[in-house]
Chains A and B, each alone.
Chain A
């Protein structure tokens, strides 16, 4: 109980990932959907860093860095698109973004 092992971190990562997935599934506002995806990426980063530490291998930390870089660039492009959409349509609700009929 008092000794923190790899499993503690993996369980924590699972819980955070679950929270993020629940957010992705129930959010309709696209900005808040982005917040939930950031939680997902962070949960995976915790698992990477923990595995890296407990196995004495730096590859996990490297992947965590690349995940951070991907999160930053995803955010820049996504927020730009979101601002563009909000200027045109005045809403960032996911239900209103149905331009295709099928």
Chain B
């Protein structure tokens, strides 16, 4: 009963938030709605008993990803309205629905077969976090380590890409200095 109420409430909230995210013309509204939608998504994980996943969702998405987007938005001109191409909306919605149904069919196709058994069944007398730890550090140890290396590579890439020339402020220089800076940077790249 309460599960059903929670499911429908959070389903409605999530869909509404994500709808705002993709339709609004204000980047700040889109960011706020996306952050709210991420938190509502984590509610589904808690309903489904995946406590650790829900906590990770809140920490990673609303903590790290949203903060990074907010930092990124400081660089961009986000106050003006976003201009969008006005194509045929029905074609877009039709293709999107078709692709989504296809994805879910791909997911659900193995579930139709009756002789499906759990590959790594849940241990009964352990909490969710404990179960996750047991599986993650035995069966999925190598993907876990590869994911760690991938995050390290992404961090280095982010610093190298965005941190270039952080000590010089382009808004405080005049045009000639920026030209000079660009010219020297281009020769450095070409040589």
Whether A associates with B in a native complex is yes
Contact between chains at B154 and A59 (CB < 8 Å) = no
Contact B120 A18 (CB under 8 A): no
Cα–Cα distance between A40 and B162 once the two chains are bound (Å): 25
> B150 contacts A77, CB within 8 Å?
no
Which residue of A10, A25, A86 contacts B75 across the interface (Cβ within 8 Å)? A86
Q: Are B164 and A84 in contact (CB under 8 A)?
A: yes
Q: Which residues of A contact B18 (CB under 8 A)?
A: 16, 19-20, 39
* A25-B92, A28-B84, A77-B157 given; A50·B68 CB < 8 A: no
CA of A71 to CA of B62 in the docked complex: distance in angstroms? 12
Q: For A50, what are the chain B residues with a Cβ–Cβ distance below 8 Å?
A: 44, 48
Is B3 interfacial (CB-CB < 8 Å)? yes
Number of A-B contacts (CB under 8 A): 231
Number of A residues with CB within 8 Å of any CB on chain B:
74
Main secondary structure of the interface of B (DSSP, over half): helix
Q: Which residues of B contact A10 (CB under 8 A)?
A: 104, 107-108
Q: Is the CB of A19 within 8 A of B19?
A: yes
> In the complex, which residues of chain B have a beta carbon less than 8 angstroms from the beta carbon of A82?
72, 76
A9 to B44, Cβ gap below 8 A?
Answer: yes
Q: Which residues of B contact A47 (CB under 8 A)?
A: 104, 107
Contact digits for A69-99, partner B, Cβ 8 Å, 1 yes 0 no: 1111111110111111011000011010000
**Chain B residues at the A interface, C-beta cutoff of 8 Å:** 1, 3-4, 7, 11, 14-15, 18-19, 21-22, 27, 30-31, 34, 37-38, 41, 44-45, 48-50, 52-53, 56-57, 60-61, 64-65, 68-69, 72-73, 75-76, 78, 82-85, 87, 89, 92-93, 95-97, 99-101, 103-104, 107-108, 111, 116, 118-122, 131-132, 135-136, 139-140, 143, 147, 150-151, 153-155, 157-162, 164-165, 170
Task: State the 5 A-B residue pairs at the shortest beta-carbon distance, nearest first.
Answer: A80-B161, A73-B154, A23-B22, A21-B96, A57-B118
Measured CB to CB, the residues of A under 8 A from B are 1-4, 6, 8-10, 12-23, 25-29, 31-32, 34-36, 38-39, 42-47, 49-53, 55-59, 61-62, 64-66, 68-77, 79-84, 86-87, 92-93, 95
Can you list 14 residue pairs at the A/B interface with Cβ under 8 Å? A14-B104, A21-B96, A22-B93, A26-B92, A31-B27, A31-B72, A39-B34, A45-B57, A49-B48, A56-B121, A66-B143, A68-B61, A70-B147, A76-B157
